């Protein structure tokens, strides 16, 4: 049996830029089976089995490749889906796409249209669709782990469970409304309040997560700071594994903030090299210092660099910025090696040499550990977008009003309304309600299956 939504049939290149070894073209909709028969000239292959086929017509062979037939609802979109795994040449893909365009009822998909159909077909919720987009965009191992879990529905399941709890609570209140005037069964509102309180507590825990999911998705900000000439740019180049920043023995070489996207131990880090603190000879250097301080203040992680050759004498200005999000580094340990238990600003220093590479592994390990403590994806699933946070906060606020109204013994109709608002907000996160309003915003900047 096949399932179709009655929509038209769409097709698109589902794989990446051409030329490539392979290209995958996906077709979804009621005419997918007919398209497959038309291009292979044969009956439909066994469902979900890769089958070798010659594509084209008697007069003109387009390519030889594998075809897979996914009759709905067991397909990506829930509709009938056909996939063509062909050679990834531009002309090959163009020829197959042109042949599909020539079939009655088929048209090219628009951006994100396959995913929209998967949502409409109930194959995934909105958070899973976002997870899929994040998985495609994931650049590091930790991002991959987080995105894969979200794409598998881990976030959506949490929100659905809370929504079920609120629906149950609402049912108690509605029963109370129905009974009003008659003998009200005791305890309905209280039972609802108990359920809501527990969901609200879980929401609070989920929301007070130090933004770890969002930070992992967006990348952590790290800033290298320190006095002029301590070797910040040398260290930056070493960590970035390229000569991105100018290094010289003149103090005040770096003036602007220089950035590099890095994968450090599986965590995405946007590392910034900054101007030396403390020295501000002239407007340009003063501006450089101002920018360095702004960057340091906004960073998830600071790497404060000091000169090993002068230790225990250290730059007081930099030492003052050391806090629990700071890794302290004593650079130039090739010139003088500080004791293993050397500290600056109360933190154990990591001795490195940006010249010889000594100690860099220890620094990398410390950065990775710090990143893991900020946004380890192995912990419980975390929300990953500002959209999730804002909508959850909306839901939580309505629950707060509900609980207050219950305490104040307000009328059951009034308190039920707050529960409806809270439940509706949860439904918007997963796309169970008001989904059309959200799709354009969400799919505006990414497309899957197209
Ligand atoms: N011996 C030794 N010299 C180093 C080391 N790291 C940097 N240097 C030298 O120290 C000088 C300053 O290095 P930079 O990396 O430009 O220092 P910076 O902190 O970025 O300096 P500003 O941008 O001016 O604040 C250069 O001559 C480097 O070659 C090191 O680990 N050992
Ligand atoms: Mg520099």
Between 69-78, 100-109, 274-283, the lowest mean confidence (pLDDT) is in: 274-283
Ligand 1 atom closest to 331 (CA): 31
211-259 pLDDT tens trace: 999 999 999 999 999 999 999 999 999 999 989 888 988 888 888 899 9
Within 10 angstroms of residue 137's Cβ, the number of other Cβ atoms is 11
CA 336 to centroid of ligand 1, rounded, Å: 14
Between 4-8, 259-263, 365-369, 402-406, the lowest mean confidence (pLDDT) is in: 4-8
Contact criterion met (CB below 8 Å) for 271 and 240? yes
> What pLDDT score was predicted for residue 200?
97
Indicate the top mutation candidate among 256, 331, 354, 360 to test ligand 1's pocket, ranked by most ligand atoms within 8 A of CB.
354
Predicted confidence (pLDDT) at residue 4 exceeds the cutoff of 50: no
Predicted confidence (pLDDT) at residue 175 exceeds the cutoff of 70: yes
Task: Specify the residue with its C-alpha closest to ligand 1, atom 30.
Answer: 332
What is the rounded distance in angstroms from the CA atom of residue 206 to the CA atom of residue 380? 9
Nearest residue to 128 (alpha-carbon basis) of 374, 376, 377, 384: 384
CA 229 to centroid of ligand 1, rounded, Å: 5
DSSP state of 288: H
Ligand 1 atom closest to 352 (CA): 31
What is the rounded distance in angstroms from the CA atom of residue 435 to the CA atom of residue 120? 9
Task: Specify the residue with its C-alpha closest to ligand 1, atom 7.
Answer: 231
What is the rounded distance in angstroms from the CA atom of residue 321 to the CA atom of residue 323? 6
What is the rounded distance in angstroms from the CA atom of residue 329 to the CA atom of residue 75? 53
Ligand 1 pocket by C-beta < 6 Å: which residues?
Answer: 226, 228-234, 247-249, 251-254, 275-276, 331-332, 334-335, 353-355
DSSP string for residues in 220-284:
EEEEEEESTTSSHHHHHHHHHTS--S---SSTT---S-EEEEEEETTEEEEEEE-PPSS---SHH
What is the rounded distance in angstroms from the CA atom of residue 10 to the CA atom of residue 116? 12
Tell me the pTM: 0.83
What is the rounded distance in angstroms from the CA atom of residue 32 to the CA atom of residue 81? 6
SS3 content of the chain, % helix, strand, coil (to 5): 45, 20, 40
Percent of the chain with pLDDT over 70: 93
Which ligand neighbours the alpha carbon of 228 most closely? 1
> What pLDDT score was predicted for residue 3?
46
Which ligand neighbours the alpha carbon of 276 most closely? 1
Task: Specify the residue with its C-alpha closest to ligand 1, atom 16.
Answer: 247
What is the rounded distance in angstroms from the CA atom of residue 336 to the CA atom of residue 71? 70
Within 10 angstroms of residue 379's Cβ, the number of other Cβ atoms is 11
CA 295 to centroid of ligand 2, rounded, Å: 15
Can you read off the two tokens belonging to residue 436? 């059309």
Predicted confidence (pLDDT) at residue 197 exceeds the cutoff of 50: yes
53-95 pLDDT tens trace: 999 987 899 999 999 999 999 999 999 999 999 999 999 999 9
Between 86-100, 172-186, 350-364, the lowest mean confidence (pLDDT) is in: 172-186
Ligand 1 atom closest to 354 (CA): 31
379-399 pLDDT tens trace: 889 999 999 999 999 999 999
DSSP string for residues in 374-409:
HH-TTSS----SHHHHHHHHHHHHHHHHHHHHHHTT
Tell me phi and psi for residue 350, to 5 degrees. Answer: -100, 120
Tell me phi and psi for residue 222, to 5 degrees. Answer: -125, 140
Predicted confidence (pLDDT) at residue 103 exceeds the cutoff of 70: yes
Predicted confidence (pLDDT) at residue 293 exceeds the cutoff of 70: yes
Contact criterion met (CB below 8 Å) for 403 and 200? yes
What is the rounded distance in angstroms from the CA atom of residue 134 to the CA atom of residue 441? 15
What is the rounded distance in angstroms from the CA atom of residue 224 to the CA atom of residue 317? 14
CA 234 to centroid of ligand 2, rounded, Å: 7
> What pLDDT score was predicted for residue 221?
95
CA 381 to centroid of ligand 2, rounded, Å: 39
Predicted confidence (pLDDT) at residue 185 exceeds the cutoff of 80: no
Which ligand neighbours the alpha carbon of 248 most closely? 1
Within a 13 Å sphere around the CA of 206, how many CA atoms are in the beta-carbon half?
Answer: 22
Nearest residue to 266 (alpha-carbon basis) of 155, 383, 147, 355: 147
Mean pLDDT for 16-23 is 94
Predicted confidence (pLDDT) at residue 436 exceeds the cutoff of 80: no
Which ligand neighbours the alpha carbon of 230 most closely? 1
Mean pLDDT of the chain: 90
CA 313 to centroid of ligand 1, rounded, Å: 17
Confidence of residue 447 (pLDDT cuts 50, 70, 90): very low
> What pLDDT score was predicted for residue 178?
73
Contact criterion met (CB below 8 Å) for 170 and 192? yes
Ligand 1 atom closest to 226 (CA): 19
What is the rounded distance in angstroms from the CA atom of residue 431 to the CA atom of residue 213? 20
CA 277 to centroid of ligand 2, rounded, Å: 10
CA 331 to centroid of ligand 1, rounded, Å: 9
Which ligand neighbours the alpha carbon of 277 most closely? 1
Task: Specify the residue with its C-alpha closest to ligand 1, atom 6.
Answer: 231
Inter-helix orientation angle 412-430/126-137, to 10°: 30
What are the distances in angstroms from CA 126 to CA 63, 150, 152, 396, 439? 36, 10, 11, 20, 9
Predicted confidence (pLDDT) at residue 180 exceeds the cutoff of 80: no
Query: How does strand 301-307 pair with strand 258-264?
Result: unpaired
CA 71 to centroid of ligand 2, rounded, Å: 60
Indicate the top mutation candidate among 225, 228, 247 to test ligand 1's pocket, ranked by most ligand atoms within 8 A of CB.
247
DSSP state of 7: P
Tell me phi and psi for residue 397, to 5 degrees. Answer: -65, -40
């Amino acid at each position: 049996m096949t399932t179709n939504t009655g929509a038209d049939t769409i097709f698109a290149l589902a794989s990446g830029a051409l030329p490539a070894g392979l290209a995958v073209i996906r077709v979804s909709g009621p005419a997918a089976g007919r398209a497959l028969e038309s291009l292979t000239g044969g009956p439909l292959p066994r469902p979900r089995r890769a089958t070798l086929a010659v594509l084209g017509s008697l007069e003109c062979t387009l390519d030889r490749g594998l075809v897979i037939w996914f009759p709905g609802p067991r397909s990506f979109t829930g509709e009938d889906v056909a996939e063509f795994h062909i050679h990834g040449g531009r002309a090959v893909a163009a020829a197959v796409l042109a042949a599909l365009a020539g079939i009655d009822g088929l048209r090219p998909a628009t951006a994100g249209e396959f995913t929209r159909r998967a949502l409409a077909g109930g194959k995934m919720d909105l958070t899973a669709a976002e997870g899929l987009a994040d998985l495609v965009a994931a650049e590091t191992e930790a991002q991959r782990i987080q995105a894969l879990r979200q794409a598998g529905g881990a976030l959506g399941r949490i929100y659905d469970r809370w929504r079920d709890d609120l629906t149950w609570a609402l049912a108690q209140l509605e029963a109370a409304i129905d009974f009003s005037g008659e003998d009200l069964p005791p305890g309905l509102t209280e039972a609802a309040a108990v359920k809501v309180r527990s969901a609200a507590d879980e929401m609070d825990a989920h929301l007070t997560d130090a933004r770890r999911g969002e930070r992992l998705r967006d990348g952590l900000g790290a800033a290298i700071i320190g006095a002029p000439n301590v070797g910040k740019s040398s260290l930056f180049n070493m960590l970035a594994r390229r000569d991105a920043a100018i290094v010289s023995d003149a103090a005040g070489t770096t003036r602007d903030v220089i950035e590099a996207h890095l994968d450090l131990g599986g965590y995405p880090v946007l590392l910034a090299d900054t101007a030396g603190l403390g020295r501000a000879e002239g407007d340009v250097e003063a501006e450089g210092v101002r920018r360095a301080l702004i960057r340091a203040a906004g960073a998830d992680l600071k790497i404060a660099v000091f000169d090993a050759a002068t230790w225990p004498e250290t730059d007081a200005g930099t030492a003052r910025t050391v806090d629990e999000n700071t890794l302290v580094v004593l650079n130039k340990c090739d010139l003088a090696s500080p004791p293993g238990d050397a500290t600056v600003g109360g933190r154990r220093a990591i001795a490195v040499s940006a010249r010889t590479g000594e100690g860099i592994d220890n620094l990398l390990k410390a950065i990775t550990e710090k990143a893991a403590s900020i946004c380890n994806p192995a912990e419980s699933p975390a929300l990953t977008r500002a959209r999730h946070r804002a909508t959850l906060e909306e839901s939580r606020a309505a629950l707060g009003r509900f609980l207050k109204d219950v305490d104040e013994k307000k009328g059951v109709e009034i308190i039920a309304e707050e529960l409806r608002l809270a439940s509706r907000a949860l439904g918007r996160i997963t796309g169970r309600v008001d989904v059309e309003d959200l799709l354009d915003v969400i799919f505006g900047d990414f497309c899957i299956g197209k």
